[in-house]
Structure 1
Amino acid sequence: QERAATALERVGLGQRLENRPNQLSGGQQQRVAIARAIINRPSLLLADEPTGALDSSTTAEVLELFDELHRQGITLVMVTHEDDVAARARRIARFQDGRIVSEPSQ
């Protein structure tokens, strides 16, 4: 439970440790999912459409969290259909029909 509390603190939800999922907003639920993903201190985090169902404000919160995780040394690989979300990445690879159609950007 201590690791869960620490992970929730890292995503800004330490005060929500006792809340049930139906008591959380969509953005909070997304951050709980991220907390679950980082609880074992991974060096790599894979995120499939992490902002797809979020409003712009909550998307910004999640992306700021990803920036913070990256600063802490976690490598993030994210799949998104949102160009503005992809634009924040250091490297971008575009896929079409299962193939890379553009070189990764630096």
Structure 2
Amino acid sequence: LCLQGHTVNGSNGAAEPVMPIPKFKQKFGQIIDIRSMINESTKLNAEEGCDPNGADRVLKPLGGYLGYNSEWRELAQVISRDIYSQNPNVKWDDIIGLDEAKRLVKEAVVYPI
């Protein structure tokens, strides 16, 4: 058992001080606001007079890939290719099983939006 700043009884019953856990500085990469990019794209489509239900519009690449490094640009291209331009009319209940996978997708994608 490792508790920072406390003592723990060792195998011989004697109290041993616990070494503090070192704190590492984390460096984060570029932060990209996907929600604002999607909102901007939706707003542009509405200004151009596209059908709001998306039946006749062609989705534009996310943000034009400007300001991305090569890894983020590649990810944005993959996401843009995989976006459906029409509603396939599939409900969560239509997918049998995979409850854990559905829960993770909802937490990562559906709930933040």
TM > 0.5 between the two?
Answer: no
Normalising by structure 1, we get a TM-score of 0.32
Normalised by the length of structure 2, the TM-score is: 0.30
Q: Which has the higher contact order (CA 8 A, sep 6+)?
A: 1
